[in-house]
Amino acid sequence: MSATQDLTLVGAVQDGLRTEMERDDRVLVMGEDVGQAGGVFRATEGLYEEFGENRVINTPLAESGIVGAAIGMAAYGLRPVPEIQFSGFMYPAFDQLVSHAARLRTRSREQYTCPMVVRSPYGGGIKAPEHHSESKEAFYAHEPGLKVVVPSTPHDTKGLLIAAIRDPDPVVFLEPKRIYRATRQQVPEEPFTIEIGDASIRREGSDVSVFTWGAMTRPALDAADELASEDIDVEVVDLRTLSPMDTDAIVASFEKTGRGVVVHEGPKTGGLAGEVTARIQEGSLLYQEAPIARVTGFDVPVPLAQLEDFYMPEDTRIMDAIREVHAF
């Protein structure tokens, strides 16, 4: 059995970066304060001392420049991993991601690819100021050419991050900061990958399927455990990758239960719950026993401070939705 280490999710990010930087000298980290300071959440702590200023690069506060420079590095043959301090700061770089990173392979008729990973803490739950708590994964999943990954456990974080760094195309790697240090898990010390595009069944069940990802996985599991006392057997599917999305896993789970709930913290309108629902309708409509419920954030900016508690989907709202579709 291979050796393991006890890591938080942010510790798994750091370990995944270090692992790939040791294995491949083309891998470099860049972003605001990622060097001696170790990043705002300390995800890159220690890497500057270990790999030096040429591979752990402090940048100006200019997200478009950070991602634009990374695209050039990737086209040249490097494997940059730019960090954006908060996902709400990524919007100035949106043009670089959509107009260039996502299209480089097709624009060049596959003469060039763009092997880079844009990492960013995302989502709510820490009561941060404006532009610090958005959950806008749907923006990036909508763009062909971008892969979008959202881990929910330390183990998956390391495996998915390594897979993303080795991928020949650009990956947006969104790290739920709410659970950066919420739990610990035994993670292999040796390098390993988890295939991008594969969902994980976190809990087997036969009555209702809950589809979710990132920080919403834990409240979904808590709701499922609580409802077991009411003889409602809930299956929890952690999608892990939003583009490409594991349609086969979604359809297989729904065909087993006939009832579905989709949980995410982003706004409801235009959110990926609608995409999951559409794939269920297209792939397993004849198995459907009840309307599919969506438990999401609200169609308002994430409120500040304590009001954020009322915005975030929690196990009580999830349980109510599960009970509703189960009783239909």
The residues that are catalytic are 132
Query: Can you tell me the distance from the alpha carbon of 145 to that of 101, in angstroms, rounded to the nearest whole number?
Result: 8
175, amino acid identity: E
Tokens found for residue 159: 């495996």
Query: Can you tell me the distance from the alpha carbon of 150 to that of 54, in angstroms, rounded to the nearest whole number?
Result: 28
- Cα atoms in the 13 Å half-sphere on the side-chain side of 248: 5
Percentages (nearest 5) of helix, strand, coil residues in the chain: 40, 20, 40
Tokens found for residue 186: 């035994």
Q: Are 31 and 39 in contact (CB under 8 A)?
A: yes
Let me know how long the chain is: 328
223, amino acid identity: A
Q: Are 215 and 175 in contact (CB under 8 A)?
A: no
Query: Can you tell me the distance from the alpha carbon of 104 to that of 210, in angstroms, rounded to the nearest whole number?
Result: 36
46, amino acid identity: G
